[in-house]
Structure 1
Amino acid sequence: MVKKFSAFLVVCLLAMALAACGSSDSTGSSGNTSDSSDKNNEESSNKTVTVNHKLDKTDVPKNPENVVVFDYGALETLDKLNVPVKGVAKGSALPEYLSKYEGSEYKNVGSLIEPDFEAINELQPELIIISGRQSDAYKELSKIAPTIYVGINNKNYMDSFTKNAKTLGKIFDKKDEVNQELDDIKQSIQNLQDKTSESDKKGLIVLSTGGKISAYGPGSRFGLIHDVFGVQPADENIEASTHGQKVTFEYVAEQDPDYLFVIDRDKAIGGDTVASEVLDNELVNGTKAAKNDHIVYLNPNVWYLSGGGLLSMEEMIKEVKNGLD
């Protein structure tokens, strides 16, 4: 009887030991599954980039293909970084330095104002990049593919410019390249600021279109000349806006700027009037800017059609610096 009980006890102990081993294996297996799950989640997150932008928060795939670009500033940045795109807004005038995108290998996806939704759908894009002119179409575009807004905040130009460049660098694995470009630009701006900080000369920015002119001051569309580059404004009370404040030639004469920076909108869009002819009048010619040959005609392809990209920022710095020399 004792032997039978001892044998039974041994069997029970063995069973308990096996159960404990099984439990340990199960726990270990569960731990491995958790580790594997964490790894998979990490790999999944590494394949997407979450972009916080003015219109939304959007998850974008890393290194997307079939990219559609409406913002010319973003297009020039991607061009600088050698990132291929498939669709471009050709329905509006492309800046001359981006003329290669007129080629048939790049699909026309509409104009800056009116996206061609059918053409965009045909491309089956993985990413759509827009700015202010397309913001009303954001919801419709987002139904087709992840869509991000990269418009510039004129009142905080450098922060938004830097953020946009770094966002594109992160999406397309070009972080180091972007950081180097931004460092170079920062140094160029510092050099320009060193020059403007030593001068008491004042500047006025005007846009010419259809024979009329509008003025732009700090915080406006072209206000980085004052806000970032450091040129003192001839008039600190110009209403900050995208379209500028309508002014007369009498106003220009009254402000009498040392430098007059001019953007010829008609030249950019193929209009009939020429800014240099519009400004060739007695009132403008009597200003210090005209008398000292300091009327600076800025490249409208860079300033009006594009802007906010790596290429245009480099050109803007160079043009203002040369204009002040």
Structure 2
Amino acid sequence: MKKWSFLVLMVSMFLLLAACGAKEETKTEPTETKTAAAEKLTIEHKYGNVEIDKNPEKVVVFDFGILDTLDELGVEVTGVPQAAIPSYLEKYAGEKYTNVGSLKEPDFEAIHAMQPDVIFISTRQAELYDQFAEIAPTVYVELDYTKYMESFEKNMNLVGEIFDKKDEVASSVKEIKASVDELNKKASALDKKALIVLANEGKVSAYGPSSRFGVIHDVFGFGAADEKIEVSTHGQSITMEYIMETNPDVLFVIDRNTAVGGEAGAEKVIENELVKKTTAFQEDKITYLDPDAWYLSGGGLQSVKLMAEEIEASL
């Protein structure tokens, strides 16, 4: 009987120790997970420094170039401004994603309700930075048009660091830079002078080197039909007489109206009797660029590739 009692006691102690070990193991695992999830990054940008968690889960994106990049990398986002989303990113207009307003008019109430881990904004929302920052850590990204590829690569590397996608970003950027270098060689060898214009409800603006669309000259290799175009966000206002007198070999046209959801009308505006006298028209070298990539989402892994491919096709 004593032997039996002793055996029961030993089994009970063994089970108790096993249970304690299991509890301890269960307690340790979440602690390790929590430590890994709490890794912080300090991001320096134009408006100061901001600390964010690495691999943030609730992501709000107001820059379509960054949205385009996260889409390419397979990173999930939570909220986007669903007004005038680029057609190739139209899935983000679905109910799966929270609508946070428009590029110029954010819905701060909706953003606050989401309690995001990070918000990405760019030039169009710059003046509202403080309001975003009151809600959640806000990262400001921008493209330096005078150093387009360097700026683009810097932004991509930032995304790669935040979301643990450094290798994927490096591979994509390397591929894009190689195709851009090849494009530059071809375009430079043509020795053709190009003019870039933005058509907007009957009005036309021109863009030259170092401007918003100056990547065509500065990076892709086309010479400028006019080297003295005023550098500004909205371009230099021009007339049809100006286009005729400048007489570009190649004319690149961006239809802003289409980009913001209106009807296409650039062709009717541009192809008038004066422009028809230019070399560009007579040699069938007027190219209407994709307004989604050029006007809405430039600077992303997908958009820069699309932009280069369009210019390549125009050759």
Same structural fold, with TM-score higher than 0.5 when normalized by the shorter chain = yes
Instruction: Note the C-alpha offset of 1:199.
Output: 1.9
CA–CA distance in structure 1, aligned partners of residues 198 and 94 of structure 2: 30
The equivalent residue for 1:257 is 248
User: Does the 8 Å contact 2:37/2:53 carry over to 1?
Assistant: no
Instruction: Note the C-alpha offset of 1:189.
Output: 0.5
CA–CA distance in structure 2, aligned partners of residues 240 and 46 of structure 1: 44
Instruction: Note the C-alpha offset of 1:270.
Output: 2.8
1:237 matches 2:228: yes
CA–CA distance in structure 1, aligned partners of residues 262 and 87 of structure 2: 16
User: Does the 8 Å contact 1:219/1:241 carry over to 2?
Assistant: no
CA RMSD after TM alignment: 1.5
The count of aligned residue pairs is 282
The equivalent residue for 1:33 is none
The equivalent residue for 1:148 is 139
1:193 matches 2:181: no
1:161 matches 2:152: yes
CA–CA distance in structure 2, aligned partners of residues 120 and 281 of structure 1: 46
Which of the numbers 276, 280, 291 marks the counterpart of 1:300? Answer: 291
What letter matches 2:42 in structure 1? T
The equivalent residue for 2:276 is 285
The equivalent residue for 2:28 is none
1:86 matches 2:78: yes
CA–CA distance in structure 2, aligned partners of residues 270 and 61 of structure 1: 36
CA–CA distance in structure 1, aligned partners of residues 264 and 116 of structure 2: 39
1:316 matches 2:307: yes
CA–CA distance in structure 1, aligned partners of residues 261 and 137 of structure 2: 33
Aligned CA distance change for structure 1 residues 46 and 196 (closer, same or farther; 3 Å): farther
CA–CA distance in structure 1, aligned partners of residues 271 and 147 of structure 2: 34
1:180 matches 2:171: yes
**Mind listing any 5+ residue stretches in structure 1 that lack a counterpart?**
1-39
- Name which of structure 1's ranges 111-120 and 179-188 shifts more when overlaid on structure 2: 111-120
Q: Which has the larger radius of gyration?
A: 1
CA–CA distance in structure 2, aligned partners of residues 50 and 283 of structure 1: 54
User: Does the 8 Å contact 1:67/1:87 carry over to 2?
Assistant: yes
SS at match of 2:213: coil
User: Does the 8 Å contact 2:81/2:101 carry over to 1?
Assistant: yes
CA–CA distance in structure 2, aligned partners of residues 121 and 279 of structure 1: 44
**CA displacement 1:105-160 (0-9 Å, x = unmatched):** 10011111111111111111000000011111111111211100112111221121
Which consecutive aligned stretches of 4+ in structure 1 deviate over 4 angstroms post-superposition? 43-46
What letter matches 1:89 in structure 2? P
CA–CA distance in structure 1, aligned partners of residues 264 and 167 of structure 2: 44
Which of the numbers 37, 45, 59 marks the counterpart of 2:51? Answer: 59
CA–CA distance in structure 1, aligned partners of residues 265 and 113 of structure 2: 40
CA–CA distance in structure 1, aligned partners of residues 224 and 278 of structure 2: 15
SS at match of 1:235: coil
Instruction: Note the C-alpha offset of 1:305.
Output: 1.4
Instruction: Note the C-alpha offset of 1:48.
Output: 1.5
User: Does the 8 Å contact 1:210/1:273 carry over to 2?
Assistant: no
Instruction: Note the C-alpha offset of 1:272.
Output: 4.5
CA–CA distance in structure 1, aligned partners of residues 220 and 200 of structure 2: 25
CA–CA distance in structure 2, aligned partners of residues 72 and 108 of structure 1: 14
User: Does the 8 Å contact 2:38/2:53 carry over to 1?
Assistant: no
Q: Percent identity?
A: 54
Instruction: Note the C-alpha offset of 1:271.
Output: 2.8
The equivalent residue for 1:68 is 60
SS at match of 2:274: helix
**CA displacement 1:9-32 (0-9 Å, x = unmatched):** xxxxxxxxxxxxxxxxxxxxxxxx
Instruction: Note the C-alpha offset of 1:197.
Output: 2.2
The equivalent residue for 1:210 is 201
